[in-house]
């Protein structure tokens, strides 16, 4: 019997428009009513994950958020936060050097807020960030109603910082993201892995985005912590995902499910598959393995 349901967000529970369908929402709420624990496991940070908690009534049913690919676990019922590690300022500077060399966008998420580096060919993004920095203090309540802003966590009460040189980095960070076109990331991936795979978890989560997390921290870390709290066994866990930052949680359990839109690596590792994220694949998997419908 499944006791813990773990779902990735982007490409899994969320549609391409970054929303939860009514079918997925109602199915997950029904599973929680029947006693299952629901955990959202994502590369996102707090603000862009927490917005989905009330939709799924997770705060009422002892739910969890596994954020930044396992770097942070939040127990929604007891309001407890477990921090599993950080990327130090010195290590962040090494990634910045790589981003500067390859002219790649760098995004760092930390407790004080976001920090961004934009190469010359992507300065338009730097200008957008500077604009947001100016308007957020005045228009935060209004922008909070616009889904696309909350998606990227721009509505944090903390700072949004522009990084130009290494000396601008003085804090530790939860996670680092590298972003550019598919062609640009394809060209730099081999060198990125060679430079950092022994020091960080390096995960290509989409054609345009690479996640960099502290070494040893993946979504599986947060899942194991939940399992220990509730004395849950491997065959009582259902995991669902679509991309490389889901590898550990999909391959670790007998009920690891690949979305129909998952990449080939996930599909090869998963024990089962479901429909795509645009076809309510999460609801189909939960009905099959949890609700027996």
The answer, yes or no, to whether residue 68 has pLDDT greater than 60, is: yes
Band of the pLDDT at 149, cuts 50, 70, 90? very low
Rounded Cα distance, 11 and 53, in Å: 18
Closest C-alpha to 252, from 74, 14, 1, 6: 6
Band of the pLDDT at 288, cuts 50, 70, 90? very high
Q: Which domains does the chain possess?
A: 4-84+217-289 (3.40.50.1000), 89-214 (3.30.1240.10)
**Structure tokens belonging to residue 203:** 């995960």
pLDDT at 169: 97
- 109 CB neighbour count, 10 Å cutoff: 25
pLDDT at 145: 43
pLDDT at 160: 77
Rounded Cα distance, 184 and 276, in Å: 27
The answer, yes or no, to whether residue 151 has pLDDT greater than 60, is: no
Phi, psi of 104, rounded to the nearest 5 degrees? -115, 145
State the average pLDDT for the chain. Answer: 90
Closest C-alpha to 151, from 5, 15, 7: 15
Mean pLDDT of 28-41: 98
Q: What is the pLDDT of residues 168-211, one digit of tens each?
A: 999 999 999 999 899 999 999 999 999 999 999 999 999 999 99
Cβ distance 6 to 238 under 8 Å? yes
Band of the pLDDT at 135, cuts 50, 70, 90? low
Q: Which residues sit opposite 6 in a β-bridge?
A: 39, 239
For helices 89-102 and 182-196, give the axis angle rounded to 10 degrees: 140
Rounded Cα distance, 222 and 212, in Å: 17
Band of the pLDDT at 129, cuts 50, 70, 90? low
């Amino acid at each position: 019997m499944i006791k813990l349901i773990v779902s990735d967000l982007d490409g899994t529970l969320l549609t391409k428009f970054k929303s939860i369908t009514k079918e997925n929402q109602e199915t997950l709420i029904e599973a929680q009513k029947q006693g299952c624990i629901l955990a959202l496991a994502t590369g996102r940070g707090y603000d862009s994950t927490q917005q989905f908690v009330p939709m799924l009534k997770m705060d009422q049913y002892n739910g969890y958020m596994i954020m930044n690919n396992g770097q942070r676990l939040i127990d929604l019922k007891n309001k407890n936060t477990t921090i599993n590690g950080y990327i130090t300022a010195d290590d962040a500077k090494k990634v910045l050097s790589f981003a500067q060399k390859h002219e790649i966008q760098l995004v760092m998420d930390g407790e004080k807020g976001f920090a961004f580096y934009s190469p010359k060919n992507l300065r338009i993004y730097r200008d957008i960030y500077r604009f947001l920095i100016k308007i957020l203090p005045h228009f935060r309540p209004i922008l909070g109603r616009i889904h696309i802003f909350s998606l990227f966590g721009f509505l944090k009460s903390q700072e949004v910082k522009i990084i130009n040189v290494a000396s601008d980095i003085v804090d530790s960070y939860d996670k680092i993201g590298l972003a550019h076109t598919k062609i640009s990331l394809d060209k730099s991936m081999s060198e990125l892995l060679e430079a950092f795979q022994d020091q960080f978890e390096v995960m290509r989560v989409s054609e345009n985005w690479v996640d960099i997390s502290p070494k040893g921290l993946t979504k599986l870390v947060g899942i194991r912590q939940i399992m220990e709290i509730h004395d849950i066994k491997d065959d009582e866990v259902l995991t669902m995902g679509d991309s490389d930052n889901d590898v550990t949680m999909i391959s670790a359990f007998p009920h690891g499910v690949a979305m129909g839109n998952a990449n080939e690596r996930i599909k090869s590792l998963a024990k089962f598959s479901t429909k795509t994220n645009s076809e309510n694949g999460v609801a189909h998997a939960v009905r099959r393995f949890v609700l027996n419908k």
